[in-house]
Amino acid sequence: MTRYRSVLVLAVLASLALGAALPSLFSALRSRIAPDRQSEAIQPGPADGEVRLSAAQIEASKIATATVGPGVVTRRITAPAAIKPDPDKIARVAAKVAGVVEEMRKRLGDQVARGETIAIIDSREVAEAKSEYLAALANFDLQNVLFQREKGLFEKKITAEQLFLKAKAVFMEAKVKLDLARQKLAALDMSEQEIAALPSQPIADLRRKEIRAPISGRVIERLVSVGQPVGGEGQAKELYVISD
């Protein structure tokens, strides 16, 4: 009986001690759980359109951050437009002689260099001018030889002054005719190099007139075709349009 009472007293004391400890235990548990619930309550949810990524997703997507600084913002705009060349860099290649187009050496869009031969015209006008120059050149050479011979004889008192002056007059006349023939070729757009090469030129090439590019650039218009008459009245005057 005495043992039973002792156990009963111990049970009562244990229950009293447990009852006294429960409030502090519950308070500790609430202090640990409450901050988490409070932070969950304060932390806002994702806004509309907002996407939140984890660290693994950011690394997999190769997203990087950088310090904000000055830079250039560019934007590409696609729109219809028309391109016009600079009027100061356009050359219209004209046919300065009447004839027939024998060759057109450049196509639309081809690049050309200044002084390059881009067309050939078969021209009777050019053939006549070249023949006139060659005849004047041959006559000038002959009269120059005769004049130099008469001059030497006159200086040696072998020939009369009248013969010397006559030879000189004929020589000067031949020189004037040669200069006029050269100027005519120059008016037909022949260079000094072309004129100097005429004595060695084949007879078959006397009718050929080379058309050279006045500037370097690109052919943007081709206005005639092979076999077309050009340069005459009522005929095409221009062969190409070149733009730099």
Domain of residue 244, CATH code: 2.40.50.100
**Are 198 and 218 in the same domain?**
no
What pLDDT does residue 84 have? 81
Instruction: For residue 144, give every residue at least 6 positions away whose Cβ sits within 8 Å of its Cβ, in sequence order, or none.
Output: 171, 174
Q: Does 144 lie in the same domain as 102?
A: no
Domain membership flag for residue 8: no
Based on the fold, state whether residues 202 and 142 are members of the same structural domain: yes
For residue 140, the domain's CATH number is 1.10.287
Q: Which residue has the tokens 């100061």?
A: 88
pLDDT, position 150: 87
203-225 average pLDDT score: 90
Res. 156 pLDDT band, cuts 50 70 90: confident
- pLDDT over 60 (residue 14): no
pLDDT tens digits along 30-65: 555 555 454 444 555 556 677 788 888 888 888 888
Give the residue among 142, 141, 163 at the shortest CA–CA distance from 152: 163
The pLDDT of residue 53: 83
Question: 45 vs 33, 39, 48, 50, 52, CA distance in Å?
Answer: 20, 12, 9, 10, 10
Q: Does 114 share its domain with 130?
A: no
The pair of structure tokens assigned to 71 is: 């830079």
Please tell me which residue, 11 or 54, carries the higher pLDDT value: 54
Please state, rounded to an integer, the average pLDDT across all residues of the chain: 82
Residues 155 and 227 in one domain: no
> In the prediction, which pLDDT does 28 show?
56
Other C-beta atoms closer than 10 Å to the C-beta of 144 total 14
Q: What is the mean pLDDT of residues 205-214?
A: 89
Residue 15 lies in a domain: no
Mean pLDDT lowest among 1-10, 141-150, 156-165, 213-222: 1-10
For residue 243, the one-letter residue type is: S
pLDDT over threshold 70, residue 100: yes
Amino acid at 135: A
- Percentage of the chain beyond pLDDT 90 is 33
Least confident of 2-16, 85-99, 102-116, 161-175: 2-16
pLDDT of amino acid 10: 58
What span, in angstroms and rounded, lies between the C-alpha atoms of 144 and 171? 6
Domain that holds residue 193: 124-206
Check residue 191 and give its pLDDT. Answer: 84
Overall residue count recorded for the chain in this entry? 244
Res 20: pLDDT: 55
- With respect to residue 61, please indicate whether it lies within any of the assigned structural domains: no
Domain annotation covers residue 107: yes
Helices 161-187 and 124-155 cross at an angle (nearest 10°) of 160
pLDDT, tens only, 103-147: 999 999 999 999 899 999 999 988 999 999 999 999 999 999 999
d(Cα 143, Cα 244) in Å, to the nearest integer?
49
Which residues are within 8 A (CB) of 178 and not within 5 positions of it... i.e. 6 or more apart?
133, 136, 137, 139, 140
